[in-house]
């Protein structure tokens, strides 16, 4: 099979004191996307980073910056991330009163747009907005924290999402990425790929060696994720 698999390190688990170097090193180790988790202590019970940090890291890498908004409401903050250099902006249907409008807002600002589904949120939200979506992000943990365990029921949900996306792509000719977020590691990534994901967020699995001074400290974990994917 000739599938493209993308690995998206979640910088939530990186060392924030040396964030710029962390990003350079993790991308150099063979990852594709900077997954940028934005939490507001309202939609989720944690508080993280905002547009200023996105703007600061933008010049450091050519990699795609994938902004995952765990924020409510989303419309006020979307333009700030577009200005800060985000390539993809995703949000949860629960984070906006008007899903279609918020998706259009992201696109109008020149970014790729996506919807994020919590473990118990139904995929039905996709049905009338596929044309406005570039990425579907399935949460395989409840949002708010890194380092949680993958919820196995999400494999079935991935298969369902894959079916919807493939049917849409067949009809429209347009590709939509299917990203999984939460608890991904070298032991489960092959099963997750077989279930239909093409883009894999990994935070704690990758950054567990973030205190090391070795610039190649992420090579072996990224290689083991890639090796498992190759077996999928
Ligand atoms: C959780 C975040 C995830 C998280 C993933 O709310 O959206 O991106 O950082 O971390 P791990 O890979 O440790 O589950
Ligand atoms: Zn995330």
H/E stretch holding 102 reads helix 99-108
Measured from the Cα of 203, ligand 1's closest atom is 12
Question: What's the pLDDT score for residue 72?
Answer: 98
Cβ of 10 less than 6 Å from ligand 1: yes
Compute the mean pLDDT over every residue in the chain, rounded to the nearest whole number. 97
Cβ atoms of 36 and 230 within 8 Å: the answer is no
Domain spans of the chain?
6-230
* Pairing mode, strands 135-139 and 64-70: unpaired
Q: Is 124 a catalytic residue?
A: no
Q: What is the pLDDT of residue 110?
A: 98
Catalytic residue among 25, 37, 40, 134: 37
Place of tokens 């365990």: 149
- CA 224 from chain centre, in angstroms, equals 20
- Give the SS3 label for residue 34: strand
Helix, strand or coil, per DSSP, at residue 173: coil
> From CA 100, how far away is CA 122, in angstroms rounded?
16
Identify whether 25 is a catalytic site residue. no
Give the chain's count of helices (H) and strands (E).
Answer: 8, 8
| Digit-coded pLDDT (tens) for 61-117 | 999 999 999 999 999 999 999 999 999 999 999 999 999 999 999 999 999 999 999
pLDDT above 90 as % of the chain: 97
Instruction: Give the C-alpha separation, 42 to 44, whole Å.
Output: 5
Q: With contact defined as beta carbons under 8 Å apart, do 1 and 193 qualify? A: no
pTM comes to 0.98
What percent of the chain is predicted at pLDDT more than 70? 99
Q: Which two tokens stand for residue 140?
A: 């395989």
Q: Residue 205: what pLDDT?
A: 98
Give the fold, CATH level 3, of 6-230. Answer: TIM Barrel (3.20.20)
Q: Which two tokens stand for residue 91?
A: 């949000």
Torsion (CA) 162, 89, 94, 176 in degrees, nearest 10: -20
Kindly name the residue from 66, 134, 181, 198 that is annotated as catalytic.
Answer: 181
pLDDT at 1: 46
CA dist., res. 215 & res. 22, Å (int) = 9
Phi-psi region of 182 (alpha: psi -120 to 50; beta: other; left: phi over 0): left
């Amino acid at each position: 099979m000739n599938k493209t698999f993308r690995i998206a390190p979640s910088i939530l688990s990186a060392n924030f004191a040396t964030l710029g170097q962390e990003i350079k090193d993790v991308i150099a180790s063979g990852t594709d996307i900077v997954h940028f988790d934005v939490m507001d202590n309202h939609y989720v019970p944690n508080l993280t980073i905002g547009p200023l940090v996105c703007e600061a890291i933008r010049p450091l890498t050519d990699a795609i910056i994938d902004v995952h908004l765990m924020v409510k409401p989303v419309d006020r903050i979307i333009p700030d991330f577009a200005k800060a250099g985000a390539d993809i902006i995703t949000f949860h249907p629960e984070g906006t009163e008007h899903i279609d409008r918020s998706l259009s807002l992201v696109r109008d600002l020149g970014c790729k747009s996506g919807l994020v589904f919590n473990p118990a949120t139904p995929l039905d939200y996709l049905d009338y907005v596929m044309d406005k979506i570039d990425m579907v992000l399935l949460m395989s943990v409840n949002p708010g924290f890194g380092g949680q365990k993958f919820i196995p029921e999400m494999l079935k949900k991935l298969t369902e999402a894959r079916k919807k996306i493939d049917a849409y792509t067949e009809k429209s000719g347009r590709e939509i990425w299917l990203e999984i977020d939460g608890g991904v590691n070298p032991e489960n990534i092959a099963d997750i790929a077989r279930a239909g994901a093409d883009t894999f967020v990994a935070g704690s699995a990758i950054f567990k060696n973030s205190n090391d001074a070795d610039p190649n400290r992420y090579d072996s974990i990224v290689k083991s994720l890639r090796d498992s994917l190759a077996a999928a």
